[in-house]
Structure 1
Amino acid sequence: MSWLVTGGAGYLGAHVVHALAGSGGQVVVLDDLSTGDAGRLDRLPAVPLVVGSVRDRGLVRRVLREHAVRGVVHLAAREQAEETGADPLAAWTANVEGTVALLESCRAKGVGRFVFASSTAVYGDPDAGPLTEDAPCRPLSPYGRTKLAGEWLLRDCAAAYGLAAVSLRLPDVAGAADPRLGDTNAAHLLPRVFAALDAGTAPVVAGGTVVRDHVHVADVADAHLAAVRALEAGAPGGTYNVGTGRGSSVLDVLRVVAEVTGGDTTPELVDRRPEEPASVVPDVGRAGRELGVRARHDLHDVVTSAWTAWRRLQPL
């Protein structure tokens, strides 16, 4: 009996796979390698990698059957708000149609446990106050809307078919549990800043006062592991914010990068995009109470681990 991790060769996906396998779980990965890297799984020879799409129903059903899959961790998605805004059809195809196809396959093969990587982007530009899971959801981007649609779909499947599903609303994920698993996506803040430092140029950042919860990827992987364990123990599922519960502005992050790297991070500031809210900091109390999830790393840990990974991954 094993768990299928879709998108398991990606930056976050590989961390989740390492956490699951490291806890003694049996794991199989499905990834089309459009953005994933099979090399992230090299140290896990017992974890099979199947190359393909979640929308390939025949392939997915074969994987579920051949590997006796008992649950799915669904991480495969188009993730950038700016990217999904430029091509919303591709975003809805990947993020919603892909989830529909995957759930159809799960139902056909009797797989009744599902962990879904959602996003705090579902909140949009929230009102002031603690941002609990019960706060109104008014997403500003196709990305946020597709993630909210995925949550709605899981709730309907839970009501109709008895699916036990956990949706984890993730904030800005960064850092590295292992330097070999670091993030190189230039659309993300830290890789963009590190690339500017290497080039000797000012990092271009949108909205220096934009506030986010920057959570270590290892803590996010642990949250997925906790969700898997909860479902295996018979929990019905639910929706949970993940993070540290503390916000930092982009300028705060740049100050920490300067401390860690010794570089000049004085930015070139541009206006934030319309789909980027001014401040999103989730309340993570429910995940702590019900899943036992608590972040172990602070912003300095995030930046230090990301920088170490960045230096290792850059060509000489």
Structure 2
Amino acid sequence: MPFVSFCISTYKRPQILLTQLQLLSRQTYTDFEVVVSDNDPEQSGKTIIKSLNDQRFKYYSNEINLGMIKSFNKSIERSNTPYIIMITDDDPLNVSFLEEMVPLINQYPDKSVYGGFIRKRGDVDKIEEIDSLHFPSEVLHPKKNPSIFWSNCILRKADVIKIGYIPDYGSPHLADHALLALTGSVNGGIIRNKIYSSHNLHENNYSKGNFDSYYNGCVGFYNLLSQYFKERGEFIHIQHVIHLHLEQWFISMSFSLRKYFYKQKNRNKLQEIDNFSKQILTLNFMKRSRAKYQIKKIIFNIKVQLGLL
């Protein structure tokens, strides 16, 4: 049995999938499998897996489009290893990731998460051991941890199952962040101050469409984490961090989309961004972000007028 599984969901992006699998095949630590759950009823990913002729790559057709989260959870169910890595079909991962992270599992056994993050404090490659009470706050706090990539993390599969798999609240937005926070709340985690992945920006990114899912993601994330940590009697430790995390996510996402569609000269998309941003700011737990949002919008409009975008 392999030691770790890369768990992937894909949908009608065979060439993007091929590029990702070719990159994963170059991992310098080789004791792994790749589990691909294909949401395409026409099984467009099947020929890609066959063409690679690598026994570590395992293909499963969902037969129908289950949606992103359910498909990812299927890939977890289909994995045959004690540890898993959630990864999209389009975000590249450094080929040394497993070689550098797997030894931490042997050095610090029984943790729930072993992840690479860019920490705002500490030397590059510094190792931190964080207990279960503080791990969610350490990971979600934007002033300590400015970006999150779940593909940078090895998760103990038993603990992912314990928290109920990837949360499905009707939107994939922030579900990866919630997964890491909840899984780390079981037995804590190990953080290495190093990043191994990045977002691959292209026309087919989910984030560039499906704008209605941003509101649902914001609400779902807040309600899920609030209820979970209240039941554990730990909400007081993380309430402020949840607000900070949502604010940073919302403002960063809103204005990166604005910048992209302004350059595309797509007025309809810009109006849609305005609409869902206003809707999110009507939420009680997001009201404190209104002033910062308005300031950012003024700055954005000034840059537009000055031709600085």
TM bucket, shorter chain: 0.3 to 0.5
Higher fraction of strand:
1
TM-score, normalising length: structure 1 = 0.33
Higher fraction of helix:
2
**Larger RCO, structure (CA 8 Å, separation 6 or more):** 1
TM-score, normalising length: structure 2 = 0.34
